[in-house]
Amino acid sequence: MSLPNAPQGPSDSRSDAAPGFTPRTLAAQAMGRIEPGTRAVVMPLHVSTTFIRDPDNGYSSGYSYARPDNATVREAESVLAMLEGAEAGALLFGSGMAAATAVFGALEPGDHVVAGTVMYWALKRWLREEAPRRGLTLTFVDTADLDALRAAVAPGRTRLVWIETPGNPLWTVTDIAAAAEIAHAAGARLAVDSTAASPVHTRPLERGADIVMHSATKILNGHSDVVAGVLAGARADAFWDRIRGIRAGSGGILGPFEAYLLMRSLRTLHLRAAAQSAGALRLAERLSGNPLVTHVLYPGLPDDPGHAIARRQMRDGFGFMLSIRVAGGEAGAIATAARVRLWKRATSLGGVESLIEHRASVEGPGSPCPPDLLRLSTGIEDTEDLYGDLDQALRSAHGG
């Protein structure tokens, strides 16, 4: 049964959810849409690259060519816009990097950007190497330190503040509402990379952010078989239109098959996020008592520096990501990662399978990541199995 007033055909990406239903319900039913031709409960995959004109030379279907737009992509975007509460809608891109760089591409030469010292390493590297070539000036700061953030923002010159919370891979927590107040007072926009939180745990737009970004490759898709990125906007304005134009002009839109798989995954997002967050918390608690772990970084732990803020701006859990610092320094950490049997030693995060990675090796010189740190992405396996595998790997790496 479709939800009351649920649209039956293609729509734009704005949230058009029926009132009275929770995001979990709306996501599970993909907004309750029914395919009008067959009455199917799963919308079809639209792969056509071009569309027929009307006799008057127009396009009454709303589609003309697939580079700027696609019906399957719109369906997934509508669910994402609903999940984020995005008035402007959502835009899907071919990767998280494509989504993020489109935001910076919408800025003007000479604009000043403030970004976090703890953030996704590939984007930080891109900012250092490519943003100056586009005429942007950059300041990197610990965004969890609001005094430092306030000092870094230049009123009238700073146009964008970019934060990631929790911040990969140290899982530092930035106060979104406070950061939004600081940015807006200076005449800047606030963009939030909320990949590690997902809209299940945090909705940045509700706390004053202007744009929220996700690497949809991660928990939004959750099955390690789609590369995608998404932006959700608080309001449709000239800046949002420039981002939309960048995606159309560069051909950065997500492919329809990937959007179809992502839509499938969004229907189970709340179940997966709850299970993975609960597992991460249990692992963090167990690992905190392991004598071969010197420190656990997870905002769900009461003694974590960001716990109070996380409790205020996250709900129903603290996310699926944590990191551990291992006795024996870098050698101990690498040896531990080499000895796991259940955890998968691979890049990425957010899938249903648990992953482990020595991030300092990946990020190289200049990384804020301590050399004794292992990043853990918690999947949906049995938590006792996951802990037991880490424990045996730790003991084996240290001669036990």
Give the DSSP letter string of 305-346: TTHHHHHHH--S---SEEEEEETTHHHHHHHHHHT-SSSEE-
Task: Write the secondary structure of 27-67 as one string of H (helix), E (strand) and C (coil).
Answer: HHCHHHCCCCCCCCCCCCCCCCCECCCCCCCCCCCCCCECC
Neighbours of 198 (CB within 10 A): 26
Which residues are registered as beta bridge partners of 90?
232
Q: Which class for 75: exposed (0-12), middle (13-18), buried (19 or more C-beta within 10 A)?
A: buried
Which alpha helices (H) appear in 60-212, and where do they start and end?
Answer: 71-84, 96-105, 121-130, 146-152, 176-185, 198-201
- Residue pointed to by tokens 């604009």: 111
- Catalytically active residues are 67, 120, 193, 218
Angle of helix 383-397 relative to helix 329-338, nearest 10 degrees, comes to: 130
Cα separation, 31 vs 295, in Å, equals: 42
Radius of gyration, CA atoms only, the chain: 21
